[in-house]
Amino acid sequence: MKTLEAGKVPLVLGGDHSVAAGTVSGVAEFYRRKNQKIGLLWIDAHTDMNTPDSSPSGNVHGMPLASLMGLPPVELGRIYDFSPKVRPENCVLVGIRDVDHFEKEHIRQSGVQVFTMRDIDERGMRAVMEEALRMAGHGTAGYHVSLDMDWIDPEDAPGVGTPVWGGATYREAHLAMEIIADHGRMLSFEIVEVNPVIDERNQTADLAVELALSAFGKKIL
Protein backbone atom coordinates (compact mmCIF):
# COMPACT_ATOMS: atom_id res chain seq x y z
CA MET A 1 0.00 0.00 0.00
CA LYS A 2 2.75 2.48 0.94
CA THR A 3 4.61 1.77 -2.28
CA LEU A 4 1.48 2.44 -4.34
CA GLU A 5 0.74 5.59 -2.35
CA ALA A 6 4.24 6.79 -3.25
CA GLY A 7 3.38 6.37 -6.93
CA LYS A 8 5.71 3.41 -7.44
CA VAL A 9 5.17 -0.12 -8.77
CA PRO A 10 5.55 -2.73 -6.01
CA LEU A 11 7.90 -5.65 -6.65
CA VAL A 12 7.26 -8.64 -4.39
CA LEU A 13 9.65 -11.60 -4.17
CA GLY A 14 8.36 -14.94 -2.86
CA GLY A 15 8.31 -17.31 -1.13
CA ASP A 16 5.62 -19.70 -2.18
CA HIS A 17 2.57 -18.55 -4.10
CA SER A 18 0.42 -18.09 -1.01
CA VAL A 19 2.06 -14.65 -0.73
CA ALA A 20 -0.28 -13.55 -3.55
CA ALA A 21 -3.27 -13.61 -1.21
CA GLY A 22 -1.77 -10.61 0.58
CA THR A 23 -0.22 -8.93 -2.44
CA VAL A 24 -3.34 -8.94 -4.59
CA SER A 25 -5.52 -7.94 -1.63
CA GLY A 26 -3.36 -4.91 -0.93
CA VAL A 27 -3.32 -3.74 -4.54
CA ALA A 28 -7.06 -4.34 -4.94
CA GLU A 29 -7.79 -2.39 -1.75
CA PHE A 30 -5.64 0.56 -2.85
CA TYR A 31 -7.59 0.90 -6.09
CA ARG A 32 -10.93 0.13 -4.45
CA ARG A 33 -10.43 3.28 -2.38
CA LYS A 34 -10.19 5.11 -5.70
CA ASN A 35 -13.39 3.40 -6.92
CA GLN A 36 -11.37 1.41 -9.43
CA LYS A 37 -10.97 -2.31 -10.06
CA ILE A 38 -7.83 -4.24 -10.91
CA GLY A 39 -7.08 -7.12 -13.24
CA LEU A 40 -4.95 -10.14 -12.40
CA LEU A 41 -2.55 -12.00 -14.67
CA TRP A 42 -1.68 -15.34 -13.07
CA ILE A 43 1.26 -16.92 -14.93
CA ASP A 44 1.78 -20.41 -13.56
CA ALA A 45 1.97 -24.13 -14.35
CA HIS A 46 -0.83 -24.59 -11.82
CA THR A 47 -4.17 -22.87 -11.26
CA ASP A 48 -3.85 -22.66 -7.45
CA MET A 49 -7.64 -23.01 -7.27
CA ASN A 50 -7.80 -25.75 -4.65
CA THR A 51 -9.74 -25.34 -1.41
CA PRO A 52 -8.96 -27.04 1.92
CA ASP A 53 -11.57 -29.69 1.09
CA SER A 54 -10.32 -30.40 -2.44
CA SER A 55 -6.56 -30.17 -2.04
CA PRO A 56 -4.70 -33.52 -2.29
CA SER A 57 -1.72 -32.11 -0.37
CA GLY A 58 -3.30 -29.53 1.94
CA ASN A 59 -0.63 -27.01 0.94
CA VAL A 60 -1.86 -23.41 1.14
CA HIS A 61 0.29 -22.45 -1.85
CA GLY A 62 -2.22 -24.37 -3.98
CA MET A 63 -5.15 -22.25 -2.74
CA PRO A 64 -4.41 -18.50 -3.05
CA LEU A 65 -6.26 -17.88 -6.31
CA ALA A 66 -9.31 -19.74 -5.01
CA SER A 67 -9.40 -17.45 -1.98
CA LEU A 68 -8.96 -14.32 -4.10
CA MET A 69 -11.94 -15.40 -6.21
CA GLY A 70 -14.20 -15.87 -3.18
CA LEU A 71 -13.71 -19.58 -2.45
CA PRO A 72 -12.26 -21.06 0.76
CA PRO A 73 -9.98 -20.58 2.61
CA VAL A 74 -12.05 -17.56 3.62
CA GLU A 75 -9.37 -16.35 6.03
CA LEU A 76 -7.21 -15.45 3.04
CA GLY A 77 -10.06 -14.22 0.88
CA ARG A 78 -11.49 -11.74 3.39
CA ILE A 79 -8.39 -9.59 3.82
CA TYR A 80 -9.67 -5.98 3.88
CA ASP A 81 -13.19 -7.40 4.29
CA PHE A 82 -14.25 -7.63 0.66
CA SER A 83 -14.42 -10.49 -1.79
CA PRO A 84 -13.71 -11.36 -4.54
CA LYS A 85 -10.62 -9.23 -5.04
CA VAL A 86 -10.82 -9.38 -8.85
CA ARG A 87 -13.75 -9.88 -11.22
CA PRO A 88 -13.58 -13.30 -12.92
CA GLU A 89 -13.58 -11.75 -16.38
CA ASN A 90 -10.45 -9.77 -15.43
CA CYS A 91 -8.60 -12.73 -13.90
CA VAL A 92 -6.51 -14.49 -16.55
CA LEU A 93 -4.38 -17.60 -16.12
CA VAL A 94 -1.56 -18.19 -18.59
CA GLY A 95 0.57 -21.30 -19.16
CA ILE A 96 -1.52 -23.76 -17.15
CA ARG A 97 -0.58 -27.42 -17.58
CA ASP A 98 -1.05 -29.24 -14.24
CA VAL A 99 -4.56 -29.11 -12.73
CA ASP A 100 -5.98 -31.28 -9.94
CA HIS A 101 -9.28 -33.05 -10.54
CA PHE A 102 -11.47 -30.91 -8.29
CA GLU A 103 -9.73 -27.70 -9.34
CA LYS A 104 -11.19 -28.08 -12.81
CA GLU A 105 -14.71 -27.62 -11.48
CA HIS A 106 -13.64 -24.63 -9.38
CA ILE A 107 -12.21 -23.02 -12.49
CA ARG A 108 -15.38 -23.59 -14.50
CA GLN A 109 -17.61 -22.27 -11.72
CA SER A 110 -15.47 -19.21 -11.04
CA GLY A 111 -15.55 -17.92 -14.62
CA VAL A 112 -11.85 -17.00 -14.73
CA GLN A 113 -10.16 -16.90 -18.12
CA VAL A 114 -7.60 -19.64 -18.84
CA PHE A 115 -4.90 -20.08 -21.48
CA THR A 116 -3.19 -23.45 -21.20
CA MET A 117 0.18 -24.42 -22.66
CA ARG A 118 -1.74 -25.94 -25.56
CA ASP A 119 -3.08 -22.47 -26.38
CA ILE A 120 0.48 -21.14 -26.38
CA ASP A 121 1.67 -24.06 -28.52
CA GLU A 122 -1.10 -23.55 -31.09
CA ARG A 123 -1.38 -19.76 -31.15
CA GLY A 124 2.03 -18.55 -30.03
CA MET A 125 3.03 -16.54 -27.00
CA ARG A 126 2.39 -13.14 -28.53
CA ALA A 127 -1.24 -13.85 -29.49
CA VAL A 128 -2.00 -15.37 -26.10
CA MET A 129 -0.40 -12.53 -24.14
CA GLU A 130 -2.09 -9.82 -26.19
CA GLU A 131 -5.51 -11.37 -25.55
CA ALA A 132 -4.75 -12.06 -21.89
CA LEU A 133 -3.73 -8.46 -21.27
CA ARG A 134 -6.81 -7.18 -23.05
CA MET A 135 -9.02 -9.30 -20.78
CA ALA A 136 -7.16 -8.36 -17.59
CA GLY A 137 -7.16 -4.70 -18.50
CA HIS A 138 -10.75 -4.30 -19.69
CA GLY A 139 -12.49 -1.79 -17.41
CA THR A 140 -9.69 -1.83 -14.84
CA ALA A 141 -6.99 0.52 -13.60
CA GLY A 142 -4.46 -2.04 -14.82
CA TYR A 143 -3.36 -5.42 -13.57
CA HIS A 144 -1.24 -7.20 -11.00
CA VAL A 145 1.15 -9.72 -12.53
CA SER A 146 1.81 -12.85 -10.48
CA LEU A 147 4.61 -14.95 -11.97
CA ASP A 148 5.34 -18.43 -10.65
CA MET A 149 8.72 -19.62 -11.89
CA ASP A 150 7.38 -23.15 -12.37
CA TRP A 151 5.55 -21.72 -15.40
CA ILE A 152 8.90 -22.01 -17.16
CA ASP A 153 10.15 -25.41 -18.27
CA PRO A 154 12.42 -27.10 -15.67
CA GLU A 155 15.20 -27.21 -18.26
CA ASP A 156 15.47 -23.42 -17.90
CA ALA A 157 14.15 -23.06 -14.33
CA PRO A 158 15.00 -26.15 -12.27
CA GLY A 159 14.94 -24.46 -8.86
CA VAL A 160 11.20 -24.54 -8.15
CA GLY A 161 9.17 -26.50 -5.63
CA THR A 162 6.76 -28.19 -8.03
CA PRO A 163 8.38 -28.47 -11.49
CA VAL A 164 6.25 -29.60 -14.43
CA TRP A 165 7.72 -30.48 -17.82
CA GLY A 166 6.43 -28.77 -20.94
CA GLY A 167 6.55 -25.16 -19.81
CA ALA A 168 7.54 -21.91 -21.45
CA THR A 169 11.02 -21.63 -22.87
CA TYR A 170 13.60 -19.05 -21.86
CA ARG A 171 12.76 -16.80 -24.80
CA GLU A 172 8.99 -17.29 -24.54
CA ALA A 173 9.17 -16.16 -20.92
CA HIS A 174 11.13 -13.05 -21.83
CA LEU A 175 8.74 -12.28 -24.68
CA ALA A 176 5.77 -12.47 -22.31
CA MET A 177 7.43 -10.02 -19.92
CA GLU A 178 8.45 -7.70 -22.74
CA ILE A 179 4.86 -7.57 -24.01
CA ILE A 180 3.66 -6.71 -20.51
CA ALA A 181 6.17 -3.84 -20.43
CA ASP A 182 5.09 -2.65 -23.87
CA HIS A 183 1.46 -2.34 -22.73
CA GLY A 184 2.48 -0.18 -19.75
CA ARG A 185 -0.47 -1.09 -17.51
CA MET A 186 1.21 -3.26 -14.90
CA LEU A 187 0.25 -2.01 -11.43
CA SER A 188 2.39 -4.41 -9.39
CA PHE A 189 4.56 -7.46 -9.93
CA GLU A 190 5.57 -10.53 -7.99
CA ILE A 191 7.82 -13.51 -8.65
CA VAL A 192 7.41 -16.61 -6.52
CA GLU A 193 8.67 -20.17 -6.03
CA VAL A 194 12.40 -19.67 -6.50
CA ASN A 195 13.97 -22.34 -4.30
CA PRO A 196 17.75 -21.81 -3.97
CA VAL A 197 18.17 -25.14 -2.17
CA ILE A 198 17.33 -27.12 -5.30
CA ASP A 199 18.44 -24.58 -7.90
CA GLU A 200 21.33 -25.43 -10.21
CA ARG A 201 24.16 -22.86 -10.32
CA ASN A 202 21.63 -20.16 -9.39
CA GLN A 203 20.05 -20.61 -12.83
CA THR A 204 16.45 -20.06 -11.72
CA ALA A 205 17.22 -17.06 -9.53
CA ASP A 206 19.23 -15.41 -12.30
CA LEU A 207 16.37 -15.96 -14.75
CA ALA A 208 13.88 -14.52 -12.26
CA VAL A 209 15.93 -11.33 -12.07
CA GLU A 210 16.14 -11.15 -15.86
CA LEU A 211 12.38 -11.58 -16.21
CA ALA A 212 11.69 -8.87 -13.66
CA LEU A 213 13.90 -6.51 -15.61
CA SER A 214 12.05 -7.35 -18.83
CA ALA A 215 8.67 -6.79 -17.16
CA PHE A 216 9.83 -3.38 -15.99
CA GLY A 217 10.96 -2.38 -19.46
CA LYS A 218 14.48 -3.59 -20.15
CA LYS A 219 14.93 -4.12 -23.89
CA ILE A 220 17.53 -5.79 -26.05
CA LEU A 221 18.15 -2.49 -27.84
Annotation says 148 is catalytic? yes
Annotation says 183 is catalytic? no
Check 17, 106, 144, 174 and give the catalytic one. 17
Annotation says 48 is catalytic? yes
Check 16, 61, 103, 119 and give the catalytic one. 61
Compute the C-alpha angle 51/118/213, nearest 5°: 80
Check the CA dihedral 61-63-69-74 and report its sign.
negative
Annotation says 46 is catalytic? yes
Q: Which residue, among 153, 104, 93, 97, has the nearest Cα to 128 in the 3D structure?
A: 93
What residues contact 171, with CB distance under 8 A and at least 6 apart?
A: none
Annotation says 153 is catalytic? no
Check 16, 46, 103, 119 and give the catalytic one. 46
Check 16, 119, 148, 178 and give the catalytic one. 148
Check 153, 178, 190, 193 and give the catalytic one. 193
List active site positions: 17, 44, 46, 48, 61, 148, 150, 193
